[in-house]
Structure 1
Amino acid sequence: MTEPFFLKPFFQPKIWGGRKLEQFGYDLPEGKIGECWAISAHPHGPATIENGPLAGLTLAEAYAQHPEYFGNPKAKVFPLLTKILDAEDSLSVQVHPDDEYAAVHEHELGKTECWYIISAEPGSYLIYGHNAKTKAELKQMMDDEDWDGLLRKVPVKTGDFVYVPSGTIHALNKGIMALETQQSSDTTYRLYDYDRKDKNGNKRELHLKQSLDVTTVPHVDPKLDIKTDQVGDSTVTTLVTAPISPFFSVYHLQVKGDLQQQKGANYTLFSVLDGKGTITADGKSFDIKRGDHFLMPSQVQEWTLRGDLDIVSSTPAAEK
């Protein structure tokens, strides 16, 4: 199969979600939908291949049964997960473990992630990092529920990029929509959830011990090296890559006219955030539009994006 795999997303209801994902053309389930798991092989939200000889298989099934399309990787599970998040309300304040802690306690990958901010209402901010200098101080501030003293608030606007290594206390807050690229993990430890109650009147579970275990102290902002290259009339912005990010590289593509690209990893993931156009691989063209998500398999050496398109793409880290 020398053509892109187009994927049907899996949608997750969330207490903090809304209906804004409909703007991408999705037929959403009823209720508050917080997450579109767009390119996912995770068992909690499997995306399904819609075209070609592998049509009908989940991405996890394709990865297990046809490793040749993924460069015959060593990794037993598909390592990445692409989501779109609609924070109609604020998410819980949370932290994720690294691979080592997650393997022992959760039997899955750790979770380093990043956000490309698709839209942010005026005045939007994130919770990102904390002010504790030691683990003892972190525990004391958590015990005292001194959230205003502990948590850092960081303003955010449309087009921003935020890298969130495992061990970073964080939360998307209300009014933000983000494209998330992350390790394929669904392990989240909640420190604080605004004392919210679900429809049955119950507060959501907190994970204070685990949060204390895995939080990096003191918090240090990662130093990003964001670079933008002009390619004809298009721009290619490298948002994060190795060595800053050991798990994935992420790019923002603003396509005007034709943008030719060559394979730089075992496979490449694409999410179309806006616009419409085509992608051509091995002489075959496919229409693409806002809300489409696809994976370019290993056999394709080069391709051309054409049109007026706003895309976030990502690749897995090179295997050691």
Structure 2
Amino acid sequence: MEPLFMEAVFQEKIWGGNSLHSVFGFDLPSEKIGEDWAISAHPHGVSKVQNGPFKGQKLDQLWRDHQELFGNQEGDVFPLLVKILDAADDLSVQVHPDDNYALKHEGEFGKTECWYIIDAKPGAQIIYGHNAKTREELAQMIEAGRWDDLLHKVTVKKGDFFYVPSGTIHGIGKGIMILETQQSSDTTYRVYDYDRKDDQGNRRELHIRQSEDVTTVPARENTLNISENKQGSSAVITYLQTEFFNVYEWQVHGFLKLKKQAPYTLATVTEGYGKLIVEDKTYELTMGSSFILPNDVENWELQGEATLIASEPGKHL
């Protein structure tokens, strides 16, 4: 009965930078690291366990061979993926398919996701939604390159939270670091990439037909019903409870005691330092620490001054 601490998997990106080192202290393999796949069983980047009897084992292997850790959940694929993204430059404008489209055309889950803004430079913006009223108008605006008319931009700040269901046109802007919780999928359809070129002078592939197929038109308003449960100076903020995942912020100021409410729970430290206590055993937490609390962990306590983003499988699982 102990947490599974996961080893970071780093992804080099054209828009990446060095902030995962300067902010979190990660030892990065290059100066263009855009993503830390903190908890992942996706074949494009599988996390390994860092501690305990399963040390060195990959998460996809644990899901397959040790379902007791996850409450004997159905499904061949571990359903969630947690990332930290460092946008040193603008990401492409993109959209993700839902499960039906992705399974038919890509052979994997669709991609619904959400973002917690870890930090943002003053004035930093995301693209979140679009202004087209019909599919015909969407196609016309994309064809004409009327990006200022089409795309809806939102200025963000540290601590903001956004729900990004499949079908939502979106893009993370330069100068933003986020914690992303998503379905375990790596299917992205690029709508626009600012006409930039890679190191070989080539423009990255766009996916206009697929983007027009899967974009929700007109854009849907994703209203959040955020609630807070105080525990002394600490608190649990509930951001989302969806069919795919439930997402929380654990604000630790002194101590925070929590109980299991799902077959397993994922968590990442986005700020501060502290301790995790499970069954009288203490584990040090630093910025960027990511762990899974398996099914046999019924209660745990957090101590220190820290912010963690936690998630668990949604109700349909």
Partner of 2:32: 32
- Post-superposition CA distance 1:105-161 (Å, at most 9, x none): 010010000000000111111111111101011011111111111111111111100
Aligned partners of 1:288, 1:152: CA distance in 2, in Å?
38
Partner of 1:221: 221
Partner of 2:15: 16
CA deviation after TM superposition for structure 1 residue 319, in Å: 3.9
Partner of 1:286: 283
Contact in 2 for aligned 1:271/1:311 (Cα 8 Å) = yes
Give, as a single letter, the amino acid of the residue that structure 2 aligns with 1:266: P
Partner of 1:138: 138
Aligned partners of 1:173, 1:295: CA distance in 2, in Å?
29
Aligned partners of 1:176, 1:306: CA distance in 2, in Å?
28
Partner of 2:76: 76
Partner SS state of residue 21, structure 1? helix
Partner of 1:255: 252
Q: Does 1:265 align with 2:265?
A: no
Structure 1 segments, 4+ long, off by >2 Å, are: none
CA deviation after TM superposition for structure 1 residue 275, in Å: 1.5
Aligned partners of 1:148, 1:225: CA distance in 2, in Å?
30
Partner of 1:152: 152
Give, as a single letter, the amino acid of the residue that structure 2 aligns with 1:20: S
- Comparing 245-254 with 206-215, which one deviates more in the overlay? 245-254
Q: How large is the RMSD of aligned CA atoms in angstroms?
A: 0.8
Give, as a single letter, the amino acid of the residue that structure 2 aligns with 1:16: W
Give, as a single letter, the amino acid of the residue that structure 1 aligns with 2:142: M
- Count of aligned pairs between the two proteins: 316
Aligned partners of 1:158, 1:140: CA distance in 2, in Å?
35
CA deviation after TM superposition for structure 1 residue 31, in Å: 2.9
CA deviation after TM superposition for structure 1 residue 57, in Å: 0.7
TM-score, structure 2 as length reference: 0.98
Give, as a single letter, the amino acid of the residue that structure 2 aligns with 1:289: T
TM-score, structure 1 as length reference: 0.97
Contact in 1 for aligned 2:244/2:316 (Cα 8 Å) = no
Partner SS state of residue 69, structure 1? helix
Aligned partners of 1:231, 1:31: CA distance in 2, in Å?
41
Partner of 1:58: 58
Partner SS state of residue 54, structure 2? coil
Aligned partners of 1:29, 1:226: CA distance in 2, in Å?
38
Aligned partners of 1:84, 1:143: CA distance in 2, in Å?
33
CA deviation after TM superposition for structure 1 residue 197, in Å: 0.2
Partner of 1:295: 292
Unaligned runs of 5+ in 2: none
Aligned partners of 2:223, 2:288: CA distance in 1, in Å?
31
CA deviation after TM superposition for structure 1 residue 165, in Å: 0.3
Partner of 1:165: 165
Unaligned runs of 5+ in 1: none
Contact in 1 for aligned 2:95/2:188 (Cα 8 Å) = yes
Contact in 2 for aligned 1:265/1:318 (Cα 8 Å) = no
Partner of 2:308: 311
Contact in 2 for aligned 1:191/1:208 (Cα 8 Å) = yes
Partner of 1:181: 181
Contact in 1 for aligned 2:243/2:316 (Cα 8 Å) = no
Partner SS state of residue 291, structure 1? coil
Give, as a single letter, the amino acid of the residue that structure 2 aligns with 1:28: L
Give, as a single letter, the amino acid of the residue that structure 1 aligns with 2:126: L
Aligned partners of 1:32, 1:153: CA distance in 2, in Å?
25
Give, as a single letter, the amino acid of the residue that structure 2 aligns with 1:73: Q
Give, as a single letter, the amino acid of the residue that structure 1 aligns with 2:4: F
Partner SS state of residue 62, structure 2? helix
Contact in 2 for aligned 1:16/1:87 (Cα 8 Å) = yes
Aligned partners of 1:222, 1:49: CA distance in 2, in Å?
35
Give, as a single letter, the amino acid of the residue that structure 2 aligns with 1:202: N
- Post-superposition CA distance 1:49-73 (Å, at most 9, x none): 0111111111111111100000001
CA deviation after TM superposition for structure 1 residue 318, in Å: 2.8
Give, as a single letter, the amino acid of the residue that structure 2 aligns with 1:232: G
Aligned partners of 1:153, 1:30: CA distance in 2, in Å?
30
